[in-house]
Amino acid sequence: MELLYRSTRSDQRRVRASEAILKGLAEDGGLFVPESVPVLDRSLRELSGMSYQDTAYEVMKLFLTDFTEEELRGCIERAYDSKFDTGVIAPLHYADGAYFLELYHGATIAFKDMALSILPHLMTTAARKNHVTDEIVILTATSGDTGKAALAGFAGVPGTKIIVFYPKDGVSSIQEKQMVTQKGDNAWVVGIRGNFDDAQNGVKEIFGDTYLADVMRQAGLRFSSANSINIGRLVPQIVYYVYACAKLLKAGRIEDGQTVNVVVPTGNFGNILAAYYAKLAGAPIGKLICASNENKVLYDFFQTGDYDRNREFILTASPSMDILISSNLERLIYRIAGNDPVRTAGLMKDLAEKGTYTITPEMKERLADFAGGYATQERAALVIRRLYEQDRYVIDPHTAVAAAVYEDYRAASGDDAACVIASTASPYKFPRSVMEAMGEACGGMADFDLIERLSELSRTPVPRAIEEIRTAPVLHTRVCGRDEMKKAVEEILGLS
Ligand SMILES: *Cc1c(COP(=O)(O)O)cnc(C)c1O
């Protein structure tokens, strides 16, 4: 049976999965959602004996029904290969009463790799299926993590080019080094004299430039986005929740019929939404615990039913969760609105115009599967230290927010079902804040000295992603003003 996708905001034409991946966003500005969430046709017991790649096929075939088995397996094999430093791709580590699902064993040691390593292959396959012969040009503005993960995913993929803009003085030195050393003759990295919003707005303007789009078409090129609202990013994220449940069954940590709680350090609401879809698809997931840092818009939303972005933006040690508009939440809103696009569009209009919206009590009742929590930076740091001292296990500041929220949830609810905590970044990505939390004096120490010391203390090898940038030559030195971004794109693409 073919699964079609529709917009959260209107009753416009349904599209196949491959079209939804190519388009990214629906024409009315809404997000694509499956008309119904498909259900796994393999038992958890059967899945428990499968590799990550086979599990990925079993999950993705349900959502991407217009891809052939050969196409899907081809994408999966090219994505989940030796770019990951472990054959199991997403290992579970037991510590302090929970299972940490380590989603950071890919090319850029953060969970974005789980989806961005396969998205380029899904996109080029989708283009072929839809007889699109244009080369796909990915344009991305990044505040750090996404840019590098997108570069690593698209570099060297035939039929694609990628251009990443980042604020020249607005990312960490390790993040910048990761990007400017990117290899691949289809990849370009450009520093902007401005902040992340400037870069983001510049990219939006280029996407909206119809004259440029014409010139592009004549040159056999078309823009696309690797944004987290693309279902080509969402669907691959469902896989690891199914995989984690299956592995807990295999290890005898849960019995048939028992459920697993899931805690997710949340920003844009993509990762936790994937866990929700996994539950709807039949994975034995109990509570979905949404963990926020001080930017606790989502915590407040789950408490009160009011979403309110009108508040101070707080910079924290978990920057990938410093978000006031969680774009993927729209898919959950659509569902609790009874799959009603008119109501969803109304709420999203309120959000755009007033920065706030309120759901009905009836909609709020449909959120019973979710629990919200938040933890401050100080609290997360204490958890990093405790896990290190107790278990010699080192976690990153994002994962630590989730671990702290789980501690609170468990104390308040008494719910001691097995629990999976999504571990979204390697501690090596944030060596300074992690080492400070561990109680190490790092004043004046250089990044790579910190990394050596972290390796000694955690007794884990320095990841390849970090080793590589230590000696890698800088390949990208282009810097431009905020108003010169379009010109940079035209030069790079040979359009001027
Ligand atoms: C992107 C990111 C998150 C947030 O994930 P969302 O899908 O945006 O909720 C959390 N932690 C890390 C390390 C990330 O890179």
Pocket test for ligand 1, best of 171, 268, 269, 370 (most atoms within 8 A of CB): 268
Average pLDDT of the residues in 244-270: 97
Considering only residues 284 and 142, tell me which one the structure prediction assigns the higher pLDDT. 284
389 CB-near residues (< 8 Å, 6+ apart): none
Phi, psi (deg, nearest 5) at residue 237: -80, -20
Q: Which amino acid is at 15?
A: V
Instruction: Give the tens place of pLDDT for each residue, 162-186.
Output: 999 999 988 877 889 999 999 999 9
Block residue for tokens 């709680």: 261
| Identity of residue 463 | P
How high is the pLDDT of residue 197?
80
Q: Does pLDDT of 270 surpass 80?
A: yes
Q: Which pLDDT band, with edges at 50, 70 and 90, does 271 fall under?
A: very high
Mean pLDDT in residue range 226-244: 95
Ligand 1 neighbourhood includes 321 CB (under 6 angstroms):
yes
Residue in the structure block whose two tokens are 């000696």? 471
Task: Provide the pLDDT for residue 449.
Answer: 93
pLDDT over threshold 80, residue 144 = no
Which residue from 267, 268, 309, 301 is spatially nearest to 370, judged by alpha carbons? 301
Residue type, 407: E
Ligand 1 centroid from CA 235, angstroms = 15
**pLDDT, average across residues 390-411:** 97
Residue 267 Cβ contacting ligand 1 at under 6 Å: yes
Mode of pairing for the β-strands spanning 98-102 and 92-95: antiparallel
pLDDT of 103 over the 90 cut: yes
Q: For strand 98-102 and strand 135-141, is the pairing parallel, antiparallel, or unpaired?
A: unpaired
Sequential DSSP letters for 250-285: HTTSS-TT--EEEEEE-SSSHHHHHHHHHHHTT--E
How buried is 210 (Cβ within 10 angstroms: 0-12 exposed, 13-18 middle, 19+ buried)? exposed
Q: What is the dihedral of CA 483, 487, 489, 492, to 10 degrees?
A: -140
Please tell me the residue having the least CA distance from ligand 1 atom 11: 424
What pLDDT is attached to residue 142? 87
Mean pLDDT of 55-59: 98
Average pLDDT, integer, range 45-69:
98
**DSSP state for residue 425 in the 8-state scheme:** B
Taking 90 as the threshold, does the pLDDT of residue 99 lie above it? yes
Of 150, 162, 168, 209, give the one whose Cα is nearest residue 480.
Answer: 168
With a pLDDT cut of 70, the percent of the chain lying above it is 100
Distance 266 CA to ligand 1 centre (A): 6
CA distances from residue 261 to 166, 285, 371, 409 in whole angstroms, order as listed:
36, 6, 10, 11
Report the pLDDT averaged over residues 250-272: 97
Burial class (CB in 10 A: 0-12, 13-18, 19+), 411: exposed
pLDDT attached to residue 58: 98
Q: How confident is the model at residue 169, as a pLDDT?
A: 85
Residue 116 pLDDT > 90, yes or no?
Answer: yes
Phi and psi torsions of 485, nearest 5°: -65, -40
Mean pLDDT of 230-251: 98
The values of phi and psi at residue 253, to 5°, are -80, -25
| pLDDT computed for residue 441 by the predictor | 87
Whether the pLDDT of residue 418 is over 90: the answer is yes
Site of tokens 């569009």: 345
* Average pLDDT score over residue span 229-252: 97
HSE-CB at 215 with a 13 A cutoff on CA atoms is 14
Q: What is the pLDDT of residue 123?
A: 97
Query: What per-residue confidence (pLDDT) applies to 342?
Result: 97
SS3 content of the chain, % helix, strand, coil (to 5): 45, 15, 35
Which one has a higher pLDDT value, 471 or 369?
Answer: 369
* C-alpha 493 – ligand 1 centre gap (Å): 31
| Ligand 1 atom 4 nearest Cα | 267
- What's the CA gap between 332 and 330, in Å, rounded? 5
Closest CA to 368 of 471, 287, 266: 287
Is residue 82 very low, low, confident or very high in pLDDT (cuts 50, 70, 90)?
Answer: very high
The pTM of this model reads 0.96
Model pLDDT, residue 443? 85
pLDDT at 329 over 90: yes
Confidence of residue 30 (pLDDT cuts 50, 70, 90): very high
Question: How many A from CA of 496 to the centre of ligand 1?
Answer: 37
Distances (CA, A) of 175 to 142, 167, 440, 486: 10, 11, 22, 24
145 lines ligand 1 (CB under 6 A): yes
| Residue 321 contacts residue 293 (beta carbons within 8 Å) | yes
Asked whether 110 lines ligand 1 (CB < 6 A), one says: yes
Average pLDDT for residues 46-51, to the nearest whole number?
A: 98
Q: What is the Å distance from ligand 1's center to 356 Cα?
A: 22
List Cβ neighbours of 32 (8 Å cut-off, separation of 6 or more): 5, 6, 7, 8, 15, 20, 23, 25, 26, 231
User: For 93, left (φ over 0), alpha (ψ -120 to 50), or beta?
Assistant: beta
Among 100, 101, 102, 111, name the best residue to mutate to test ligand 1's pocket (greatest count of ligand atoms within 8 A of Cβ). 111
Averaged confidence pLDDT in the chain: 95
269 lines ligand 1 (CB under 6 A): yes
Q: Is 111 in the pocket of ligand 1 (CB under 6 A)?
A: yes
Q: Could you give the CA distance from residue 445 to residue 457 in angstroms, rounded to a whole number?
A: 15
**Chain position carrying tokens 């009463």:** 97
